[in-house]
Amino acid sequence: MRSEIAHFKSQSYNFKVLVLTNLIYSIVLPVIDIFVAAYVMRSSNDPVKVVVYQLTIYSGIPITFLINGYLLRTFSIKTLYSLGMMLSGISMMVMMSLTTLDTVGIGIAGLIMGMSFGFYWANRDFLALAMTNDENRNYYYGLETFFYTIIAIIIPFSIGAFIEYQSAISGNAQLAYRIVTGFVVFITILASIMCFRGNFTNPTEKKFVYFKFDPYWYKLLRLASLKGLVQGFLVTAPAMLIM
């Protein structure tokens, strides 16, 4: 353990800030992936609305990736990265503020969440490449995966137990979801504060929209398409199965 801590401390300052930022924010990712869609299903008992929510999320991601490329010419990458994290909390607040879960409201909340993912992953992926090198890149991804796997086990169990307990005590599951939303907003603020402690620089301004690729890249895109189909099922089915 001491050797692992010493090895982590030996990394660059920005490396450590990026890891800690992602570690803090990873606490809310299981909540976003499972409990928001479960809330829609529990409150409306309508699988169509869950599908609409997921559809608007995944529609917003590629659009935001494109917008992010242009915004990087004006705003710092720290600002856009933090915006992505904060938007996830805002999306949940929008969802909880709806008096009735109509399709339009769910679609707006889903689109905001999609923008959150777009800003977050576009800037996170760049920073992961920029802040690591061939010697420590595997260590970075291994460290991230290790902690996220543990968090992905603990957080769903803890949040689920809290919602069930709160529902049994007060008979009001919606109150439990509102408390969870407040928790998510608090964590995103902490992650944003940590992000702004880094000395991250924007990528050099280059062309980022392409229509012609290497043949091997087309093969990777086809694999990514298949993975996307599986991912779409994995994020939608659990919410329906829970209910």
Q: Is residue 5 part of a domain?
A: no
Across the range 226-240, mean pLDDT stands at 73
Q: Is residue 134 part of a domain?
A: yes
- Given a cut of 70, whether residue 169 has pLDDT beyond it is yes
In this structure, what token pair is assigned to residue 238?
A: 């659990």
Q: Tell me the per-residue pLDDT of 54-113, one tens digit each, with 9 for 90 and over.
A: 889 989 999 999 999 999 989 999 999 999 999 999 998 998 888 888 889 889 999 999
Output the CA–CA distances (angstroms, integers) from residue 40 to 51, 201, 243, in the order listed.
10, 39, 10
CATH number at residue 35: 1.20.1250.20
Q: In terms of pTM, does the model score above 0.75?
A: yes
CA distance linking residue 175 with residue 173, whole number of Å? 5
Name the domain count of the chain.
1
Q: Tell me the per-residue pLDDT of 30-44, one tens digit each, with 9 for 90 and over.
A: 888 777 777 877 777
CA torsion angle for 148, 189, 131, 211 (degrees, to 10)?
A: 90
pLDDT for the residue 84:
94
pLDDT for the residue 127:
93
Q: Is residue 161 part of a domain?
A: yes
Q: Is residue 1 part of a domain?
A: no
Q: Which helix (H) or strand (E) holds 189?
A: helix 173-195
pLDDT for the residue 242:
58
Mean pLDDT, the chain, rounded, equals 87
Q: Tell me the per-residue pLDDT of 119-151, one tens digit each, with 9 for 90 and over.
A: 999 999 999 999 998 888 999 999 999 999 999
Q: Is residue 117 part of a domain?
A: yes
Q: Is 51 helix (H, G, I), strand (E, B) or coil?
A: helix
pLDDT for the residue 19:
93
In this structure, what token pair is assigned to residue 180?
A: 């969870």
| DSSP string computed for 131-157 | S--TTTHHHHHHHHHHHHHHHHHHHHH
By residue range, what is the domain housing residue 153? 10-242
pLDDT for the residue 232:
73
